[in-house]
Amino acid sequence: MTSAAVGGQPSEVGVDFGTATTFVAARSLAGPAQVVPLGRSTPWLPSLARADGHAIVAGEDADDGNGATIRSVKAAITQRRTAVTGWGPDGPVTVPADTVVAAVLAEAARRAGAAGLALDNGCPVRLGCPVLWDGGQRRRLLDVAGAAGLAVDESRLIEEPVAAGLAWLTHSYLGRGERPEGRLLVFDMGGGTLDIAVMAVSAGPRPRVAVLGAAGSAVAGDALDTEMARDMAAEMAARGVDVTLSGRPEVAWALLERAARETKTRLSHVDEHVVMLPAPLRYPHPVRYDRTRLEAAFRGQMDGAETLALSALRTARATRQPLTAAELRAVSRSSLADDVDFVLLVGGMSRIPYVQRRLAACFRRARIYRHAGGAADEAVVAGLAGTGEEEVTLHRPGFDLVLEWGEGRRVFYEAYTPLFEPWQIYSGYSELVYERWLRPPEVPDRGEGRVRAFGLSRREVALELDGRIGPLPVRFCSDGVALRLTGDGAFELRDLGGVTALRADGWPMPAGSIGGGDGGRLVLSRARGSPSR
Amino acid sequence: MRPAPVATVAVFLDLLREARAPMAAGELKRRLGALGVERAEAAAAWRRAQRVLRRVARYDPDTRTYEWAALAPAQALEELLRSDLDGAERTALAQTVRTALAERDDLEQRLRQAYRSTWQAGGERQTRTRAESARALARVAMEVEELAAAGAAAWVMVERVRTLVRMCDLEPIGRAGEETGYDGARHVAVGGPARAGARVSVIRPGYLWRDGDDEVLLDRAQVAPV
């Protein structure tokens, strides 16, 4: 493997491209991950950009008021938008989102190079992505990162909560001399998003992570700022000052949100913060904001976050054992909470004592960890700059399954598609499986075809059954053909020959293309009583 | 005179280790004889040991020779779990496994020490840096509190604070409450973009830090349109 060098030491390199900040870290063989300073006065690069004619300026200079500043460009991939709009003194400016993402990543690489860590020389890097992104979103980030000069492939695209979990496992084993083994829930609440993942983990020289379930939401720290700002506005209104009637309501509201954000941060350290609102708000009275008031504003949001965590735990149950929706619905919240052995808090919002207290009360049996060896907002990049020796399996296939015949071709399953949606658990009749029927005339009604697997880079993933490697044969009939997949690796094909029940030992991480090698392999075994194919 | 050894797998392995070369069965039996073992006894011992030797020594079927090879710990453990071994063989195999585990523990310990020392060194560096910043901040806090208790006017406190931060090579950008022309390089407009030169009022000043000849923008001044 090609290695980057920090001070002449070989290292693994991670790039955490976040909604607000981008981190780069490298790891020497026996040391912890070291964050490479990218910002002018911060360890991170602000994930900001500004269109400057045909060029894009990324980083701190993008916010210098000389044009339209573009924020949260990562959300464009999450929301499948192709363009992003920034607001400047001359009005809105719209540019292609991928160009902006590439500019931010290229700037991060340039600054890492200036700090002694060259990333543009083919050195493989590991890149993070949200756990809920599907194959198309991941492929898009890989393509853009490639265009930005980063050597990254699908095997090096690690889900962010998984990366945080890996950092925690490595630090537990090497830093604390422990070998935790059990169920880990990563709770990653930042400004813009909340990401939750449930994993079966074990620490050791080769940390092992099996993702069992995940959930995400766009309601996070910024939503709390808004709620607190509303609360302050209500207090002002009670004394006769209505911010909506201000000469510049958007400025008044921004000033309130700014005060709320600051209050939120201060209340992680003190019990009460006295807010003196700035002069343009024309409210000369002190606003006394204490933790009780913050918790009241935050309660509803944390209720939702807990429900989301329990939803991820329900998915995790179905990943490990075949359960019907009815069976899963019958599992109580406390029983689900008892599945968790460890909780890892990641992201800026995890500093709030109320978050820690709520999660400790919800997951009574679990040990709560607030750091994975470094700052809460550096856990993801620390895990990305891992040992490279980790074993990760997923709760859904990380490759496309394609049905082919003659000149025809249909996608049976698209990489990273959830095998079932959370709503299915609450619906009346759903089986918690992925099932897709392809029927004539979409496919032939006679003759033979085959199922093949392809990674995000479109390289073929070898399917191995009964010691033989090759496509899985399919015989068409007038009823069509069907594919069923479950989180625990059940793989069922239905065709003219009946039902062929196969099983994979979990869904492996895709193989990479950097440094050659094949596209990886999925080993299937025949479930008992299943006919030969 | 030394008593003749009881010919076990361990004895044959010792012979192979000492020879440092491949040996056929005949040569092994001859060397056993040289140690005082009766010919018939050596032949019987060979018949007993041959099957195990093929597993634990390096056997070449073409030349029908055996050569000593260090047993991998996992292989030694597998052998140890077999029931057809005598006490001496078990002891030798157990030692192989014990040594491997001790080496593994040692390696793990050294890896952990390397990790911890790098981590602690980083932590200590950070602690020193944070302590320096905290000390500077503490001086400001101490002085402000003293001034407040003495009934100092707000402008006196601001001037004192500015003096103290200047001692840390910090240079303020603007003054809270003053009106100025918007400059994107030094100001950030709260509530939306502003045009260069537009009249704004400073809500909170920003700061530059001078590090030798370098100038680091720590925070822009926050401004709102007038």
- ipTM comes to 0.77
Q: How far apart are CA A145 and CA A154, in angstroms?
A: 11
CB contact under 8 A, B193 and A64: no
CA distances from B154 to B145, B160, B178 (A): 12, 10, 15
CB contact under 8 A, A30 and B225: no
Q: Where in chain A is the domain with CATH 3.30.420.40?
A: 4-152, 179-219+297-387
DSSP letter at A324 equals B
Residues 6+ apart with CB under 8 A from B9: B49, B52, B53, B56, B85, B89
Average confidence (pLDDT) over B3-21:
77
Q: Which candidate, A522, A458, A521, places its Cα nearest to that of A489?
A: A522
Q: Where does residue A197 rank: exposed (0-12), middle (13-18), buried (19+ CB within 10 A)?
A: buried
Q: How far apart are CA B159 and CA B150, in angstroms?
A: 15
CB contact under 8 A, B191 and A28: no
Q: How far apart are CA A77 and CA A71, in angstroms?
A: 13
- Rg of chain B (C-alpha set): 41
Q: What interhelical angle do B9-19 and B39-56 show, nearest 10?
A: 80
Give the gap in angstroms from C-alpha A281 to the nearest C-alpha of chain B. Answer: 11
Q: How far apart are CA A348 and CA A190, in angstroms?
A: 5
- Residue A6: the pLDDT is 39
- Residue A46: the pLDDT is 95
Residues of B with CB under 8 A from a CB of A: 108, 111-112, 114-116, 118-119, 122, 177, 182-185, 187-196, 198, 201, 203-204, 209, 216-218, 220, 222, 224-225
DSSP letter at A348 equals G
- Residue A115: the pLDDT is 92
Backbone phi and psi for residue B200, each to the nearest 5 degrees, phi listed first: -135, 160
Q: Quick one: A179-219+297-387 is in which CATH superfamily?
A: ATPase, nucleotide binding domain (3.30.420.40)
Q: How far apart are CA B163 and CA B136, in angstroms?
A: 12
Mean residue pLDDT of chain A comes to 90
Q: How far apart are CA A284 and CA B184, in angstroms?
A: 29
Give the gap in angstroms from C-alpha A91 to the nearest C-alpha of chain B. Answer: 9
DSSP letter at A178 equals -
- CATH architecture of the domain covering A4-152: 2-Layer Sandwich (3.30)
Q: Where in chain A is the domain with CATH 3.90.640.10?
A: 221-295
Q: Pick the residue with more confidence: B14 or A267? A: A267
Q: Pick the residue with more confidence: A403 or A9? A: A403
Give the gap in angstroms from C-alpha A66 to the nearest C-alpha of chain B. Answer: 6
The model's pLDDT over A267-309, given as tens digits with 9 standing for 90+, comes to: 999 999 999 999 889 999 999 999 999 999 999 999 999 999 9
- The enclosing H or E element of A168 equals helix A160-170
Instruction: For residue A251, list chain B residues with Cβ-Cβ distance below 8 A.
Output: 190-192, 224-225
The model's pLDDT over B30-56, given as tens digits with 9 standing for 90+, comes to: 998 888 888 888 898 898 888 888 888
CA distances from B169 to A40, A93, A235, B127, B158 (A): 16, 38, 40, 21, 17
Q: How far apart are CA A36 and CA A471, in angstroms?
A: 45
Q: How far apart are CA A43 and CA A24, in angstroms?
A: 9
- Residue A3: the pLDDT is 37
A484: β partners: A435, A492
| Residue linked to tokens 């069923």 | A484
Q: Is A305 left (phi over 0), alpha (psi -120 to 50) or beta?
A: alpha
Q: How far apart are CA A481 and CA A74, in angstroms?
A: 38
Q: Which candidate, A108, A101, A65, A67, places its Cα nearest to that of A84?
A: A101
Mode of pairing for the β-strands spanning A481-485 and B187-189: unpaired
Backbone phi and psi for residue A232, each to the nearest 5 degrees, phi listed first: -65, -40
- Rg of chain A (C-alpha set): 25
Q: How far apart are CA A48 and CA A62, in angstroms?
A: 6
Give the gap in angstroms from C-alpha A291 to the nearest C-alpha of chain B. Answer: 23
- Residue A11: the pLDDT is 57
CB contact under 8 A, B224 and A251: yes
Q: Which candidate, A10, A342, A373, A370, places its Cα nearest to that of A177?
A: A373
Residue B119 has its nearest CB partner, among A41, A250, A373, at A373
Mean residue pLDDT of chain B comes to 87
Q: Is the pLDDT of residue A113 over 60?
A: yes
Q: Pick the residue with more confidence: B130 or A229? A: A229
- The secondary structure of A350-418 as a DSSP string is GGSHHHHHHHHHHSTTSEEES-SSS-GGGHHHHHHS--S--EEEESS-SSEEEEEETTEEEEEE-TT--
> For chain B, how are helix, strand and coil distributed in percent, rounded to 5?
55, 20, 25
Contact indicator for A167, A33 with CB cutoff of 8 Å:
yes
Q: Which candidate, B36, B31, B30, places its Cα nearest to that of B14?
A: B31
Contact indicator for A519, A459 with CB cutoff of 8 Å:
yes
pLDDT band at A429 (very low <50, low <70, confident <90, very high): low
The model's pLDDT over A41-99, given as tens digits with 9 standing for 90+, comes to: 899 999 999 987 788 999 998 887 778 889 899 999 999 999 999 888 888 889 999 99
- Tally the C-alpha atoms within 13 A of residue B194's C-alpha that lie toward its C-beta: 26
- Residue A202: the pLDDT is 95
Q: Which candidate, A74, A109, A296, places its Cα nearest to that of A190?
A: A74
CB contact under 8 A, B116 and A174: yes
Q: How far apart are CA A474 and CA A497, in angstroms?
A: 8
Q: How far apart are CA A274 and CA A223, in angstroms?
A: 21
Q: How far apart are CA A350 and CA A302, in angstroms?
A: 12
Q: Which two tokens stand for residue A438?
A: 């392809």
pLDDT band at A528 (very low <50, low <70, confident <90, very high): low
Q: Is the pLDDT of residue A1 over 70?
A: no
Residues of A with CB under 8 A from a CB of B: 28, 30-32, 34, 40-41, 60, 63-66, 68-69, 87-89, 173-175, 177, 205, 248, 250-255, 258, 278-280, 373
Q: Pick the residue with more confidence: B89 or A203? A: A203
Q: How far apart are CA B43 and CA B28, in angstroms?
A: 10
Q: Which candidate, A170, A185, A125, A183, places its Cα nearest to that of A152?
A: A125
Q: Which candidate, A304, A306, A256, places its Cα nearest to that of A281?
A: A256
Average confidence (pLDDT) over A460-482:
93
CA-CA-CA-CA torsion for A235, A236, A237, A242, nearest 10 degrees?
-150
Q: Pick the residue with more confidence: A197 or A458? A: A197
CA distances from A207 to A32, A179, B101 (A): 15, 9, 19
pLDDT band at A10 (very low <50, low <70, confident <90, very high): very low
Q: Which candidate, A380, A385, A398, A439, places its Cα nearest to that of A190?
A: A380
| β-sheet with B65-67: strand ranges across | B23-24, B65-67, B58-60
pLDDT band at A9 (very low <50, low <70, confident <90, very high): very low
Domain A221-295 has CATH 3.40.50.300: no
Instruction: For residue B122, list chain A residues with Cβ-Cβ distance below 8 A.
Output: 32, 34
pLDDT band at B120 (very low <50, low <70, confident <90, very high): confident
Q: Global pTM?
A: 0.84
Q: Which candidate, A418, A215, A421, A196, places its Cα nearest to that of A328?
A: A421
